[in-house]
Amino acid sequence: MLDIHALQVFFEASKTGSFTAAARTLNMTQPAVSMQIKTLEDYLQVQLFERQGRSIHLSKAGQAFVPLARQIIEMTIKAEKMIRGANSAVMGNLTIGTSVPSANRVLVHLLARFQKLYPNVRISLPLVSQEELLDKLTSGIYDFGVLNVVGRCEQVTCMPFFDDRIVLVAPTMPAFGLEREIEPAELLNQHFVCQDHHSACRYAVGDALKPYDIDINEFDIRMEIGSHSAIIAAVEHGVGVSFISLLEAAPALAQGQIRIVDVRGVRLNTHVHMAASKAHITTPVGIKFQAFMEHPQTIAHTRLLTQGAIPDVQSA
């Protein structure tokens, strides 16, 4: 099935003649636009653009596809307006707590779509610790939660949301002198910039290092920061290294502000989940949101957002 968002990306790129310009217009990254176009080309099994260095031009197939894409987009917009009118009676609050900061990068795109369908819904996205998230989920204060540590509470049900990876990042400055790959034991010799003790990332890293008899509490932590952007800035300026979500680190990695250091034998793939309480009966708004998240188009859009936002970065 054609993805309407991919069609919008194609149509905007066809108008501007530039993936970069299309990314600015659509408030996306250039790699995300390229991924959307490639996915669409793979699905249609045709080349829509001819690429010459950084320049792009519509192929013959692409030129023929432009009016069809425009027609599909216009029909979809018309259908959405009709649906919004039918759903205008759906109103209320929706609270989605998260202990995974990188999830908000994905959630805001999805929730913008959801709110177009249900314009009278007010949405809150509090960022909290893993423990607080589970407590407020089970007590019914939050409608949904986003977490990447499953199995810590039997009272929640989880549905897959997206996959991420936790990487060790370091400054690019030559004076820092850290190799491209290190042994796990060498982590104890590094200065660290970390998230707080109750962050999901700290839990995941701690669990991954247990087989190597390394206690994360023994790290030489120079700064403890709640903001991912502030952590990246601290690493860039040589305060220390940090374990962080690849989804969060991708823009800084692509711009050469920081680099990945591999830890031999340690690969931290994380599976981010959307959770809800088993005991709490959700609201009509919550029921609509769950149906929205389980829709195949939402799942496909989430995959494109997460895959397209992470460039093919290498350790440096």
pLDDT higher than threshold 50 for residue 316: no
For residues 264 and 168, state if they share a domain. Answer: yes
Question: In this model, does residue 150 exceed pLDDT 70?
Answer: no
pLDDT at 86: 55
pLDDT of the residue at 259: 92
**Which residues have C-beta within 8 Å of that of residue 73, sequence separation ≥ 6?**
4, 7, 8, 11
Band the pLDDT of 315: cuts 50, 70, 90.
Answer: very low
Indicate whether 10 and 82 sit together in one domain.
yes
- Are residues 184 and 212 both part of a single domain? yes
pLDDT grade, residue 310 (50/70/90)?
Answer: low
Q: How confident is the model at residue 146 (pLDDT cuts 50, 70, 90)?
A: very high
pLDDT digits (tens, 9 = 90+) for 203-249: 778 888 888 888 888 888 898 887 788 999 999 999 999 998 888 88
Tens-digit pLDDT profile for residues 109-119: 999 999 988 99
What is the reported pTM?
A: 0.63
Tokens coding 179:
């190799």
CATH value at residue 8? 1.10.10.10
Tell me if 315 is assigned to some domain.
no
Asked whether the beta carbons of 249 and 258 are under 8 A apart, the reply is: yes
Range of the domain at 298: 91-162+270-309
- Taking only the tens place, the pLDDT of each residue in 257-296 is 999 999 998 888 888 899 988 766 667 888 899 999 999 8
Q: What does the pLDDT read at residue 32? A: 87
- Is pLDDT of 195 > 60? yes
The Cα 100–Cα 96 span in angstroms is: 11
Percent of the chain past pLDDT 70, that is, above it, reads: 89
Asked if the model's pLDDT at residue 96 lies above 90, the reply is yes
Specify which residues 242 forms β-bridges with: 169
Structure confidence by residue, pLDDT tens digits, 157-172: 888 999 888 899 999 9
Give the list of residues 6+ apart from residue 103 with CB closer than 8 angstroms, or none: 146, 161, 162, 272
State whether 181 and 221 are in the same domain. Answer: yes
- Phi, psi of 51, deg, nearest 5: -110, 125
Q: Are residues 37 and 181 in the same domain?
A: no
Q: Specify whether 34 is located in the same domain as 47.
A: yes
Residues 97 and 80 in one domain: no
Q: How confident is the model at residue 82 (pLDDT cuts 50, 70, 90)?
A: low
314 lies in a domain?
A: no
Close Cβ partners of 79 (under 8 Å, ≥ 6 residues apart): none
* Residue 232 C-beta-side C-alpha neighbours within 13 Å: 22
- Same domain membership, residue 274 and residue 155: yes
List 224's β-bridge partners, or say none.
194
230-240 residue pLDDT tens: 999 999 999 99
Q: Per the structure, how many domains does the chain have? A: 3
Q: First and final CA of the chain: distance in angstroms?
A: 39
Average of per-residue pLDDT across 25-48:
88
- 206 in any annotated domain: yes
Note whether 206 and 140 are same-domain residues: no
Give the Å distances, CA to CA, from 146 to 177, 221, 231, 235.
37, 27, 21, 26
